[in-house]
Amino acid sequence: MTDTIKTSPLDRRAAMLGLGAALIMPACATSANDPTARASAVANQSGPQLATYSENDLIEGISNHLGVTSESAASTIERLFKDRGRPTAYITGEEGGGAFIGGARYGKGTLWMKNGTSRKVYWQGPSVGFDWGVDASKVFTLVYGLNDPNYLFRRFPGADGSAFLVAGMAVHYQSANGVTLAPIRSGVGVRLGVNVGYTSYTKKRSIIPL
């Protein structure tokens, strides 16, 4: 006589759970080993990447706007890219200023973003320090970390005395709230000594440099 093996509801439930785990595990392992799945997960975690300019995008623009050789522009870009990486935008413009202990600077230009957005920009700012003279120059400013043009319109503190020279062009950094500007200047005139202050970027021209 054949014995009938009886199973309890608890045993049947355990068997079903075991079968489900056996079906799920291979799928999980496949997903973990799938390069496409891993890349998708990384992309979702990192979010969208900002469009940036390459060195070749900017060398000709700097050369034409500032009236310098391509070799000089390439030397400057190489230094900036080594220090800060690839910018998300740039500003082409011109400015003038003067000082005798206290001074002011005014400028106007256009913001160009890699995504095709452009906007008129004005800037002005006071300066105080051991400084005298006048200057007039064209400016080519690299912009880092800017994904919305509206975040440009604020005050950016800076110290002109900390500027460095590359291939005859003066460069210094200004930073505020995650956005960094690197104005590159080439022009006539002279500003001696050290001055400190800030530059205010605005949507409209302002006579008062504050």
Exposed / middle / buried, residue 191 (Cβ in 10 Å: 0-12, 13-18, 19+): buried
What predicted TM-score, i.e. pTM, was given to this entire model? Answer: 0.68
Q: Where are the domains of the chain?
A: 9-46, 55-202
**Of the candidates 35, 137, 150, 126, the residue with the CA atom closest to the CA atom of residue 95:** 137
**In contact, 91 and 121? CB cutoff 8 Å:** yes
Report the percentage of the chain scoring pLDDT > 90: 38
CATH superfamily of 55-202: Rhodococcus equi virulence-associated protein (2.40.128.480)
In this predicted model, what pLDDT tens digit does every residue of 8-64 receive, in sequence order? Answer: 444 444 444 343 434 333 433 333 344 333 333 333 333 456 789 999 999 999 999
